[in-house]
Homo-oligomer: A and B are copies of this chain.
Amino acid sequence: MDDFPRILAALGTEISTPAPIVLIDVVEENITRMQAFADAHGKAVRPHVKTHKSVRIGKMQLDAGAIGLTAGTLSEAEIFAAAGCPDILLAYPLWITGAKEGRLRRLSRATRLSVGAESAAAIERLAEVMGDAADALGIVIEVDCGARRSGVRPEDAGVLAAHATRLGLRARGVFTYPGHGGTIGARESAAADQAAALRTAVESLRAHGIEPEIVSAGSTPTAEFSTDPVITEVRPGEYVFNDWDNVRLGDSAPQNIALFLASTVVSDQGHPHVILDAGTKALAREGNPERGYGQVPSFDGYLRVLNEYHGFLELPAGGPRPVVGETVAVVPHHVCPVVNSFEELIITDRTGALLDRWPVDAQGRLN
């Protein structure tokens, strides 16, 4: 983060704010580090594309050794399949109707596709939609490990996998998401819950005569604790960019933050805050009123309030104050929805050399 002011100075007026600035050398290091960690523990990496939504960055992950990619929506998966990704896990409890029917069938021909499922009804729907081509679709049963989001009880995974097999689908394994590891001090225990759930789920599959190929664990905050022998792969997303939450949680160092939002001070009326041109539509209101909605480390300030196009940058009394027209670096609390707010990423490096502009290929693409 110490580099951000120097990078902004080097970029000068080449950029239109607000704009997401990506330090591609830091991205490369983050990808290398995660892959090396997983290699050392005998795990595969299947990065979640929700964070970057960029075909180019997905290719960097695959080139570094990722076995495939994870997507959250049919549209995301379509973008990465069209770009040549050979293996995609759509880690979501899909419900297929309408236009999604033809799209799922086409996608299953374009890549080696596996999708999440956690109810008999959804599995029956998937089988019905796939028809004669059911064996082209991999099913990965989602189990809950404590996030209480989607996912069946681990001991119920086998009966669903067997149901999928009976309907002609290919039951490939199980996955879970330890979302309850997203608070301070909870990463290690959530990872332990995850390992326990996955072990039970694997036993449940085996009791139904199914040997899983995929035993898949989330997430960036829990990745370093996801080393249980039962796990075959990890699905981190945020690690490519990292954000203020990752630093706060302790799974990332400040120097591993690879994306910030360049934002201009557009108003200073002498209040304890100045106004930036980054509001809800850019920063997605991630954070909360106490912690704020984005950090501005070089002024020790934070965005206390967001309107749609305005951010209230609260400044400590007596500290330095940016002037109107000055560009500042905002570190998002949660980077994923911020990237999704923009059509393109400004690609630079620690020196601030403007290298390129890359499209956010899967921007939006929510359904």
The interface of chain A, by Cβ under 8 A from chain B, is 12-19, 50, 72-74, 92-95, 97-100, 118-119, 121-122, 125, 144, 148-153, 179, 264-269, 271, 273, 275, 277, 280-282, 284-286, 307-310, 312, 323-325, 336-337, 340-343, 363-364, 366-367
Contact = CB atoms under 8 A, between A and B. Distances in A.
A118 B324 CA distance: 10
B337 A275 contact: no
Contacts of A342: 364, 366
Contact of A286 (B15, B264, B280): B280
Identify the 5 closest CB pairs spanning chains A and B, nearest first: A13-B98, A150-B267, A13-B97, A16-B367, A93-B266
Given A16-B367, A19-B367, A324-B121, A266 B312 contact: no
A310 to B, nearest CB: 6
Nearest to A325: B95
B312 A366 contact: no
Contacts of A307: 149, 179
A148 to B, nearest CB: 6
A209 to B, nearest CB: 25
**Which of A12, A92, A93, A312 counts the most chain B CB atoms within 10 A?**
A93
A284 B285 contact: yes
A267 B337 contact: no
A308 B367 contact: no
B366 A281 contact: yes
A149 B308 CA distance: 12
A152 B269 CA distance: 7
Contacts of A13: 97-98
Given A73-B309, A310-B150, A364 B343 contact: yes
Contact of A267 (B149, B179, B264): B149
A97 B11 CA distance: 12
Given A277-B95, A367-B17, A310 B149 contact: yes
Contacts of A363: 364
A92 B17 CA distance: 14
A62 B119 CA distance: 49
Contacts of A15: 98
B285 A285 contact: yes
A118 B271 CA distance: 14
Nearest to A265: B95
Nearest to A272: B148
B366 A282 contact: yes
Contacts of A16: 74, 98-100, 367
